[in-house]
Amino acid sequence: MEIRQEITLAPDDCQIVSSRIINGSRDLIFKAWTDPLHLEKWWGPAGFTNTFHEYNLEPGGNWSFTMHGPDGKNYRNECVFIEIKAPVKLVWDHVTGPIFQLVANFDELPDNKTRVTFRQIFRSPKECENIKVYAVNANEENFDRLEQELKAMTP
């Protein structure tokens, strides 16, 4: 298990960048990304559910979970948190295949909106291209699920 303790810099062909402007305060959106009671409800593409085994939100802390696919398969995931800067930035290394670093930024905008941008940074252009085939659409589904969870979080 490779654990990096810094944010990775990479050329564009090693990155998948997903971004969306979302209705909601940066604080609320950051909470949805960092509170396991909310995160487990929306993390992943449409049709997936999650079982969290460990969630230790601190630099060097582990996040261990299983994604249950609509196809009946289970997908084990292990992550290590690198940086938590509430409510601005969240960085973790995904240390089970596929290996990548995720850097999420939360930019406060006028009218109670937040731009959420996350970069998945891979070790090589080939690894990135192999994941990009399905990750681009899956990331959009992830945003859709986040927006649904935010509606449930708002009284």
pTM: 0.92
Confidence band (pLDDT; 50, 70, 90) for 57? very high
Mean pLDDT of 19-40: 98
Please say whether the beta carbons of 52 and 38 come within 8 A. Answer: no
Over the stretch 95-152, which tens digit does the pLDDT of each residue have? 999 999 999 999 999 999 999 999 999 999 999 999 999 999 999 999 999 999 999 9
Confidence band (pLDDT; 50, 70, 90) for 3? very low
The single-letter DSSP state of residue 118 is: E
- Residue 33's H or E segment, with its range, is helix 26-34
In whole angstroms, give the CA distance from residue 80 to residue 63: 6
**What is the average pLDDT value for the chain, to the nearest integer?**
94
Confidence band (pLDDT; 50, 70, 90) for 7? low
Domains in the chain (CATH in brackets) are: 12-153 (3.30.530.20)
Provide the token pair at 57.
């939100």
What's residue 11's pLDDT?
82
